[in-house]
Structure 1
Amino acid sequence: MDRRRRRALLALALAPAVLAACASAAAGPAPRALAEGVWWVAGSGGAAAPANAGRIGNSGFVVGPAGVVALDTGTSYAHGRALIAAIRATTERPLALALITHVRPEALFGATAFREAGVPVAMHRQAARLMRSRCDGCLAQLRQTLGDAAMAGSAVIAPDHEFDGPTTLHQAGRPLELLHDGHASGPGDVALWDPARRVLFAGGLVENRRVPAIDDADLPGWQRALASLAALQPRVVVPAHGPAAGPEAIAATSAYLAALDERARALVADGTSLIDVPEAAALPAYAGWDEYEVIHRRNASIAFLRAERALLFGEAAR
């Protein structure tokens, strides 16, 4: 048997397993109840890859007497479809709104499935502006990383509703508080607070044992937002990535950002060269966090440049 034929037969033999793995990744994990009517759908963490179909971030939904509010729609149309199916398997109440809390691919591109299902999509006006400015490029990169089949049907869509600040959502039939304290982890990043259940969907404002990315962040604003979230004294916090946790996830995110800022300022004061920063800015206490080797190294360079600019121009480091 020649080599080409052996390869063809091997591919045929493996195809069912590969397809099953892809189908499992697209179907996604089962929702987990956090409180009465409050559900979390876990992401895998890590970086988007074919093995996880890009399902790295958390999603969730809140069921009220009048309907369902979904949060963060997944990386693809397929993820959005899976989230809709999970909601419909959990409750017969109608889907009333899909809320995108922050501008990361794992929150955005499943919105096409909600649009197809006639569910309005909402996000902050500043987040929508950021999405329009760059997310076509994000989508193209995901097609390269995950493949055209995994991203089929995915698109950048304009939200049906844009809001400018904190507000109260009534679509579920009980009040849910939409929180926005200004530019923090990114422009227009928001959190959803269920005061009756004391559950906080923190969106991109909080990570759990994952290094938070500061590319779009205003660090002082982020710290102010985290202080506001901590003051709520939530019982459960759903972060952008990582398991649902208690308020300690808020404190840990804040502590990392403070340590990063302090280290960057120290390196600037020491006259460190930018090329040496990723190594010199190591924070061993966080080395076990998800994506430390990638995101922390990038964060270090960004924080260093911002601290350097602040020193040169007499500005506050952002």
Structure 2
Amino acid sequence: MRRRRMLALLGAAAAGGCASPPSPPASQPRTLAPGVYLLPGSGGTADAHNLGRIANAGFIVGERGVLVVDTGTSFAHGRAILAAVRSVTDKPVKLALVTHARPEFLFGGPAFQDAGIPVRMHDRAAQLMAARCDGCLKQLRQTVGAVGMAGTAMYRPDQVFGAAHTVEGLGRAVRVLYFGHASGPGDVAVLDEASGTLFAGGLLDAARVPDIQDGELPAWHRALASLRGERLTTIVPGHGAPGSPALIDAVDAYLAALETRMRALVEAGASLIDLPAAGELPAYAHWDQYETIHRRNASTAFLRAEREWMFRQPREGRP
């Protein structure tokens, strides 16, 4: 694997000529609670300026070792996360856990594998990564650039799982929460029980429109209801600033407003042509990615609502 990594690095360097890599966003760890650290993403969309590092990552330091939550956007990002851990502790990194199959959370995995650190993810998230993330990587190379993505490659996780569990070997109580297919297949959250800090992965974003492309909305609402039953003090969303458990209500309200609006439009006989104006939710217009992700969400939710409405109608000739 190391030889393949070196060849990939040399190839990317040749493609980039003598260009120097852009300066990455700040990667200093921020303390959220004793032993719990955040590496904040930039937000926005992946580009050459932010090196695609738009999402949050973090790590939890136990008595016997460290758990890294999400691995970053690229091989270089994964190495930067490891360097951030080393700036805080010399305890061994036992595991890197990927919360969901979005490119900004998973492509740093090989940097951990090269360091002898296993990467773990839910088996359904691993299947989704294998099915479509080759295309995601090609797109990142275009938007971020060959230099910023140097050495980044598709990979397989070392460990997969299918259910909620406790992370062993840290000397600290950390639980992986899984609620079934909610925000996406195999999406999980990570809870540090000592501090009540939740790394929410794809289940929650802060002041950013959540992407429903892979979501099952009724199950997503149920997952958020389950989170309310946990003892939480701080939530680290997949994107955006950490906050209180009120983040749960904010995302839940957006999803409900989206569903309500799209169902009303279907009942009123609207069509997809009407969505650019009729599908607006002004209360969320200030959220990050409203102009892009919300527009896509509106189309997705409208088509789902239309399908539900058609199934509810009496079939022709039925008594």
Please give the residue correspondences for 1:206-225 in structure 2 after superposition, counting only pairs within 5 Å: 206-225=204-223
- Measured against aligned partners, the alpha-carbon deviations of 1:132-185 in whole angstroms (never above 9, x if no partner) come to 000000000000111111111111211111000111111312221110011000
Deviation at 1:233, TM superposition (A): 3.6
Q: Which consecutive segments of 4 or more residues in structure 1 shift more than 2 A?
A: none
Which of 192, 201, 205 is residue 203 of structure 1 equivalent to? 201
Equivalence for 2:24:
24
- For the residues of structure 2 that align with 1:221 and 1:278, how far apart are their CA atoms? 27
Q: Structure 2: which amino acid aligns with 1:186?
A: G
Deviation at 1:23, TM superposition (A): 2.8
Which of 50, 58, 62 is residue 60 of structure 1 equivalent to? 58
Question: What secondary structure sits across from 1:204 in the alignment?
Answer: helix
Q: Structure 2: which amino acid aligns with 1:54?
A: G
Please give the residue correspondences for 1:226-305 in structure 2 after superposition, counting only pairs within 5 Å: 226-305=224-303
Equivalent pair of 1:278/1:298 in contact (CA under 8 Å): no
Q: Structure 1: which amino acid aligns with 2:150?
A: A
**Residues 1:142 and 2:140 are matched in the alignment:** yes
Question: What secondary structure sits across from 2:38 in the alignment?
Answer: strand
Question: What secondary structure sits across from 2:95 in the alignment?
Answer: strand
Deviation at 1:24, TM superposition (A): 3.4
Q: Structure 2: which amino acid aligns with 1:162?
A: V
Deviation at 1:314, TM superposition (A): 3.5
CA RMSD of aligned residues (A): 1.4
Which of 40, 47, 50 is residue 49 of structure 1 equivalent to? 47
Question: What secondary structure sits across from 2:55 in the alignment?
Answer: coil
Which of 83, 86, 100 is residue 84 of structure 2 equivalent to? 86
Question: What secondary structure sits across from 2:60 in the alignment?
Answer: strand
- For the residues of structure 2 that align with 1:238 and 1:117, how far apart are their CA atoms? 26
Equivalent pair of 1:202/1:237 in contact (CA under 8 Å): yes
Equivalence for 1:10:
none
Q: Structure 2: which amino acid aligns with 1:23?
A: S
Equivalent pair of 2:51/2:144 in contact (CA under 8 Å): yes
- Measured against aligned partners, the alpha-carbon deviations of 1:214-241 in whole angstroms (never above 9, x if no partner) come to 0000000100111111221410000000
Equivalent pair of 2:27/2:80 in contact (CA under 8 Å): no
Which of 296, 310, 313 is residue 311 of structure 2 equivalent to? 313
Question: What secondary structure sits across from 2:96 in the alignment?
Answer: strand
Please give the residue correspondences for 1:185-196 in structure 2 after superposition, counting only pairs within 5 Å: 185-196=183-194
- For the residues of structure 1 that align with 2:304 and 2:261, how far apart are their CA atoms? 12
Question: What secondary structure sits across from 1:193 in the alignment?
Answer: strand
Equivalent pair of 2:24/2:50 in contact (CA under 8 Å): no
Q: Structure 1: which amino acid aligns with 2:23?
A: A
- For the residues of structure 1 that align with 2:78 and 2:221, how far apart are their CA atoms? 31
- For the residues of structure 2 that align with 1:286 and 1:24, how far apart are their CA atoms? 29
The aligned length equals: 296
- Measured against aligned partners, the alpha-carbon deviations of 1:18-77 in whole angstroms (never above 9, x if no partner) come to 958x1333xx42110111100011001000011111110000000001100001111111
Please give the residue correspondences for 1:110-129 in structure 2 after superposition, counting only pairs within 5 Å: 110-129=108-127
- For the residues of structure 1 that align with 2:253 and 2:279, how far apart are their CA atoms? 15
Q: Structure 1: which amino acid aligns with 2:27?
A: P
Q: Structure 2: which amino acid aligns with 1:137?
A: G
Equivalent pair of 2:46/2:144 in contact (CA under 8 Å): yes
Quote the sequence identity (%). Answer: 55
Q: Which runs of 5+ in 1 are unaligned?
A: 1-15
Equivalence for 1:106:
104
- For the residues of structure 2 that align with 1:97 and 1:119, how far apart are their CA atoms? 6
Equivalent pair of 1:69/1:171 in contact (CA under 8 Å): no
Equivalence for 1:95:
93
- For the residues of structure 2 that align with 1:132 and 1:279, how far apart are their CA atoms? 36
Equivalence for 1:11:
none
Equivalent pair of 1:278/1:301 in contact (CA under 8 Å): no
Equivalent pair of 1:191/1:205 in contact (CA under 8 Å): yes
C-alpha distance 42-184 of structure 1, shift in aligned 2 (>3 A): same
Equivalent pair of 2:164/2:175 in contact (CA under 8 Å): yes
More helix by share: 1
**Residues 1:163 and 2:166 are matched in the alignment:** no
Equivalent pair of 2:233/2:245 in contact (CA under 8 Å): yes
- For the residues of structure 2 that align with 1:86 and 1:278, how far apart are their CA atoms? 43
Question: What secondary structure sits across from 1:50 in the alignment?
Answer: coil
Question: What secondary structure sits across from 2:200 in the alignment?
Answer: strand
